[in-house]
């Protein structure tokens, strides 16, 4: 029997969460990312994952919005097996390879004319690190050496390397490393998060204009000819919990970049490659404004491979092609043949099985059920359900315990979202609970992300919502005072 994931009342770690019976936990030589040892998964099929204790749980969040076609898709496993038989590795500075060339063509051909070239890496942080360096290389090559400033946003996440943590602003993930983050070249403006930060007297247009003006003011403060790029997640993922920007925001922000000759970078590591119901998030949630540079990762390989990509517009590509002609950045595993073959197969499955449409349809159903079950007048969670937002197959549920009804519950210092995530896992659902998205300091807020695979069925959506709402209700009930 695996450890139950019930949560004791006093645990001296930050999150106050770990398995109740630590003695029953198998020892581990891994330094895990959680204060508790996560259960070991032994196999998976589609959206179902089997754990070491024999339990099978339903993955309602695709791991971390990664497994976009579930596990074990026969077309992808076949492609991977064929590729490993053919060729597992060549080094990208000596040889290119067929799957990498084909995947690159796919990304350019499906990019609605936005992209001229791409480069491969092995994940999201590497993709954003590559995007930052590519932008800097562009100005190096085009002889604008004064440009050395990047502008990101508060409450954003662009990866866990030192540079991507510097560009992003996820307070708890930055906290241990503030001493070594780069505050000289990386600057931040406000998040685009209307439900929390739009003023009551402001219209949406006025809010967007305020944010546009703030960005322009930041350019002027830094010196407009010193700015390399403004970078943003098209839909904010983990930090605030699936927050799309207000209408017109990206058009406005891009206009500032264009005015001063800086680049506009979109981080679609989490929200891209179909997650929003369109191949690129900016097609549906970014005013249709294509970036100069874009990072993609999670849905690119769907979990079958560690892969990310940096996509670049003709402007950036030409800047390099007219000068050195090559990307000065790289890694040993970039454009790995196995990773590219897996990714290509995932992308073909998405097209052949019309999964973007299914993602939109099931996402809309998920939203409807969540609203019915969490926000109807009789719902136990209604007073605490601050917002349900998202699109396509990417949904965030934010809870708030500042209403008068909050005096009816006491979580004894534990984070509600983490309690819900743990309870859901016990009940057979994987979801992602996160904290700290409700204020710019990152000290308040509870949200949970649901982002099932694009091939989720209606029945599975129903099951995901049932298990999720039951978990929310149980945690509320058990902490009633
Ligand atoms: C928007 C965004 N950018 C970058 C990253 C970093 O990606 P990875 O964890 O693959 O390094 C993430 C990961 O969640 C992300 O959500």
Task: For the chain, give every domain's residue range.
Answer: 22-69+355-478, 74-352
d(CA 300, CA 303): 8
Mean pLDDT calculated for residue range 340-360? 98
**How far, in Å, from the CA of 269 to the mean position of ligand 1?**
6
Query: Does the beta carbon of 265 sit less than 6 angstroms from any atom of ligand 1?
Result: no
The whole-model pTM stands at: 0.95
Instruction: Sort strands 446-450 and 394-399 into parallel, antiparallel or unpaired.
Output: antiparallel
d(CA 302, CA 299): 5
Query: Does the beta carbon of 268 sit less than 6 angstroms from any atom of ligand 1?
Result: no
pLDDT confidence tier of residue 3, bands split at 50, 70 and 90: very low
Q: How far is CA 64 from CA 36, 91, 448, in A?
A: 18, 29, 12
Q: What pLDDT was estimated at residue 11?
A: 32
pLDDT confidence tier of residue 24, bands split at 50, 70 and 90: low
Q: What pLDDT was estimated at residue 4?
A: 37
Query: For 22-69+355-478, CATH number?
Result: 3.90.1150.10
**pLDDT averaged over the chain?**
94
Mean pLDDT calculated for residue range 24-31? 82
Nearest CA to ligand 1 atom 3: 158
Q: What pLDDT was estimated at residue 25?
A: 66
pLDDT confidence tier of residue 19, bands split at 50, 70 and 90: very low
Nearest CA to ligand 1 atom 9: 124
pLDDT confidence tier of residue 26, bands split at 50, 70 and 90: confident
d(CA 195, CA 193): 6
- Class of the CATH domain delimited by 74-352: alpha beta
pLDDT > 70 fraction of the chain, expressed in percent and rounded: 95
- Domain 22-69+355-478 and domain 74-352, same fold? Reply is no
pLDDT tens digit string along 163-215?
999 999 999 999 999 999 999 999 999 999 999 999 999 999 999 999 999 99
pLDDT tens digit string along 284-322?
999 999 999 999 999 999 999 999 999 999 999 999 999
């Amino acid at each position: 029997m695996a450890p139950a994931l019930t949560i004791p009342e006093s645990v001296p770690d930050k999150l106050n969460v770990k398995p109740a019976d630590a003695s029953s936990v198998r020892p581990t030589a891994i330094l895990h990312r959680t204060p508790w040892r996560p259960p070991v998964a032994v196999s998976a099929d589609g959206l179902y994952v089997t754990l070491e204790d024999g339990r099978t749980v339903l993955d309602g969040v695709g791991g971390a919005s990664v497994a976009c076609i579930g596990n074990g898709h026969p077309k992808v496993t076949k492609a991977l097996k064929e590729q490993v038989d053919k060729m597992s590795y060549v080094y990208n500075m000596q040889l290119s390879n067929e799957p990498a060339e084909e995947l690159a063509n796919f990304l350019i051909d499906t990019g609605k004319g936005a992209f001229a070239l791409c480069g491969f890496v092995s994940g999201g942080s590497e993709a954003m690190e590559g995007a930052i360096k590519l932008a800097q290389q562009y100005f190096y090559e085009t002889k604008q050496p004064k440009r050395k400033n990047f502008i990101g946003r508060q409450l954003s996440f662009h990866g866990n390397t030192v540079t991507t943590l510097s560009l992003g602003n996820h307070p708890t993930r930055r906290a241990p490393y503030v001493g070594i983050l780069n505050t000289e070249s990386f600057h931040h403006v406000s998040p685009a998060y209307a439900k929390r930060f739009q003023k009551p007297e402001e219209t949406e247009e006025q809010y967007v204009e305020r944010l546009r003006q703030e960005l322009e003011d930041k350019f002027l403060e830094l010196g407009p000819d010193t700015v390399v790029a403004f970078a943003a997640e098209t839909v904010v993922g983990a930090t605030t919990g699936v927050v799309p920007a207000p209408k017109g925001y990206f058009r406005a922000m891009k206009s500032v970049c264009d005015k001063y000759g800086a680049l506009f970078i979109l981080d679609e590591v989490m929200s891209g490659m179909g997650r929003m119901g369109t191949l690129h998030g900016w097609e549906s949630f970014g005013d249709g404004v294509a970036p100069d540079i874009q990072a993609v990762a999670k849905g690119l390989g769907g979990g079958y491979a560690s892969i990310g990509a940096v996509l670049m517009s003709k402007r950036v590509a030409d800047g390099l092609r007219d000068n050195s002609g090559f990307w000065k950045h790289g890694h040993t595993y970039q454009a790995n043949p196995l990773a590219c073959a897996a990714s290509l197969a995932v992308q073909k499955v998405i097209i052949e099985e019309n999964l973007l449409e299914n993602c939109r349809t099931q996402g809309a159903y998920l939203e409807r059920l969540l609203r019915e079950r969490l926000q109807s007048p009789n719902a136990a969670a209604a007073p605490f359900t601050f917002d349900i937002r998202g699109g396509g197959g990417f949904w965030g549920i934010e809870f708030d315990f500042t209403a008068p009804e909050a005096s009816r519950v006491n979580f004894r210092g534990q984070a509600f979202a983490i309690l819900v995530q743990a309870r859901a896992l016990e009940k057979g659902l994987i979801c992602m609970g996160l904290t700290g998205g409700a204020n710019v300091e990152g000290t308040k807020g509870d949200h949970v992300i649901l982002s099932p695979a694009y091939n989720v069925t209606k029945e599975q959506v129903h099951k995901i919502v049932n298990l999720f709402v039951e978990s929310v209700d149980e945690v509320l009930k058990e902490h009633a005072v």
